[in-house]
Amino acid sequence: MEDLNKVVSFILGLVVVVVFLAFISGKIKLGGKPGSTISKQSITPTPTTKIIPTATYNKYSQTTPAPKTIPATGLPTIFLPILLSGAASGLYLRKTGKKTS
């Protein structure tokens, strides 16, 4: 069964490569060139004047109290647990791979 999967994967890979090469060389025309369906229309801009009102800014006001401690973020909170779980998974897979059936 494993050999059948390898043969099917190889044949599908060859089909993909052949279709890709045919598309690149121009033997297969899929939709033509991009932008060929867009009609060329001339657009003439009309100038207009617009008065922008003066911006007013709100003053900063703090409504919530500042935190007492800085929360832990960054590398130690994400990377180290992923590193440890990856190492534990690797050791588990290494142990199961050494078993003989």
Residue 2: inside a domain, yes or no?
yes
Residue 46: inside a domain, yes or no?
no
**Average pLDDT for 53-71:** 74
Residue 9: inside a domain, yes or no?
yes
> Under 8 Å CB-to-CB from 28, ≥6 apart: which residues?
19, 22
The per-residue pLDDT for range 11-61, each reduced to its tens digit, is: 999 999 888 888 787 766 665 555 555 556 777 878 888 777 776 666 666
pLDDT at position 58? 67
Q: How many domains, the chain?
A: 1
Question: Whole-prediction pTM value?
Answer: 0.29
In a 13 Å sphere around the CA of 8, the CA atoms on its Cβ side amount to 5
Residue 20: inside a domain, yes or no?
yes
Does 6 have pLDDT greater than 90?
Answer: no
Residue 4: inside a domain, yes or no?
yes
pLDDT at position 28? 65
pLDDT at position 23? 77
Residue 22: inside a domain, yes or no?
yes
Q: Are 19 and 28 in contact (CB under 8 A)?
A: yes
Residue 17: inside a domain, yes or no?
yes
Residue 65: inside a domain, yes or no?
no
Full domain range(s) for residue 11:
1-28
